[in-house]
Chains A and B, each alone.
Chain A
């Protein structure tokens, strides 16, 4: 690792980055904070509201419902995608001609525009014309995600698993192939079984990449907007209205600036807190 030297002139190097990010982040953030503490009746007239909006949002049933749905969604997603991704990475060949083929095909869902993912699954899961929809109904299960909340949840979750598990696979795989052969050889000589190898060699060495994977999946699933918006529009009813979808409805749909802004800030703070916890865990392991 390179040792760093003290140099305050380094600020010039980071200045362009700071300017661009500040422009994009600070100014809108200030706007949001501004709106969150004021009331407007149009005509650019603003009245001080203080923490009124925050109280309203935090007490609103609508917010609780959306937050609850979001937490359940994120929880289910993490519980499926992380173990599944790791399991797939464990079964992938570590060398050979098939490796690039596998990696390219697995990475494909990650690069499809999110609205196309939504549309694709829409066409795929519709009961009449979709392969999946038809297949499930043909098995005797009454399935229609446009009308049944349970079916909608099932489809949204399946879509996210399809979309993002590969990220976990690729990260876990990167961690796995960095383990030198000698570890596996030593384990063989020590008479260790496959489970012991996983528990004592593979899992510890994958800790870093797994933390990154969990962090990324948490953040992205917590922020999810486009795919469910295109697939179900938040419905049927509002059964799949997650936090972002609800926020956009309030902000861009109803133009309720105050509540929207307050909700945005609360949303941001939650994400920030969880991310900070993960970040600290990760950098603390690095320093060790």
Chain B
């Protein structure tokens, strides 16, 4: 187990980067503590795979250092960092049996056969692969093969961190949750630090204790799934997480209050921390918007049935506001009024949560304990 620290990390795939856009990772300062379950969440191209490969050692960062337990490992190759990585599509040694696949990393390190056997059987048991140990690995289904990949990572006892790069991509949808729960179960049992990279919020939110949200090469927020949902530090996080995402509405602040299209929107937290910012927005999740007798005037535009609830799209001039309503309840037609829950309404300055800091990013948080 190890504490992993990333200091002043910047990476570019180009030999001579000049503009900001040339950098895949723009400034990462991050600490991961021991034994935690982390998710790296973000849209395609945000830099999460790059970050993963830098931690595992498959990539050397253009700038910055990687520390394992305080030791600088930036120049060390992967096999000397005691890490394991599971890739998007199952990587197994076709010609070997399941047993030999799992034994491979141990044998390469010269571990005695007796110990190898114990370990392999232990892990096979955990992954429910015991019956297939004698089979040729190439004959298994994709989820079986992915389990072997995971197994090869778990079988080594000196592993500092196991990294998963979108491991459920090729798995059948109805098997995904099974594998995911198995993974969570394993994490809690074995207590190895695990970093799970994905663009799927469900995977991230259900697996991780702490989620690291990235966009465009920077870390936008770190927090537990609840924190991310309730207090998104950035409009991007609010928008990305939740389905549908948070409503982001342009507003102005005057006379000590926030106003949207002339209507006062009460915010419990107040409106501090917005000095020097140019763009002010209100963020509120559809879960916390309801119809009221007075408030923001809107046109009810569309009602969609989403199974467990209904999503109602309303329009206030050019802006759209979504809210949720239970199935079967009454939905007003034509014009109506909306009210936002003041405890759950946030003010955003230039995209960042007002008062969080003065316009900088929240990338220098440490990911708290599991």
Query: Chain A residues in contact with chain B, CB under 8 A?
Result: 180, 182-183, 185-186, 188-193, 196, 200-201, 204
Contacts and interface: CB of A to CB of B under 8 A. Distances in A.
Given A189-B83, A191-B108, A193-B108, A200 B89 contact: no
A196 to B, nearest CB: 7
Contacts of A183: 91
B292 interface: no
A186 B95 contact: no
A200 B105 contact: no
Contacts of A182: 87-89, 91
Interface string B80-99: 00011101110101111000
A222 B79 CA distance: 47
Interface in B29-64: 56, 58
8 contacts: A188-B58, A188-B77, A189-B56, A189-B83, A190-B104, A191-B109, A192-B104, A193-B108
B108 A192 contact: yes
Given A200-B93, A204-B94, A204-B95, A186 B87 contact: yes
Contacts of B105: 189-191
Contacts, number: 45
User: Is chain A's interface secondary structure helix, strand, loop, or mixed overall?
Assistant: helix
A197 to B, nearest CB: 10
A182 B105 CA distance: 16
A183 B101 CA distance: 13
Considering the complex of A and B, which 5 residue pairs feature the smallest CB-CB distances, nearest first? A191-B108, A186-B91, A182-B87, A190-B105, A191-B79
A188 B108 contact: no
Nearest to A199: B95
A196 B105 CA distance: 11
B78 interface: yes
A188 B87 contact: no
Contacts of A188: 58, 77-79
Query: Which of B83, B88, B91, B108 gathers the greatest number of chain A CB atoms within 10 Å?
Result: B91
B152 interface: yes
A61 B81 CA distance: 68
A189 B88 contact: no
A196 B104 CA distance: 10
Nearest to B163: A189
Contacts of B85: 185-186, 189
Contacts of A193: 108
Nearest to A190: B105
A35 B108 CA distance: 65
Contacts of B77: 188
Contacts of A189: 56, 78-79, 83-85, 105
A164 to B, nearest CB: 29
B145 to A, nearest CB: 12
A119 to B, nearest CB: 46
A16 B284 CA distance: 70
Contacts of A204: 94-95
A31 B11 CA distance: 72
B42 to A, nearest CB: 20
A96 to B, nearest CB: 13
A193 B110 CA distance: 12
A193 B105 CA distance: 11
A186 B162 CA distance: 12
Nearest to B87: A182
A182 B165 CA distance: 11
Contacts of A180: 89
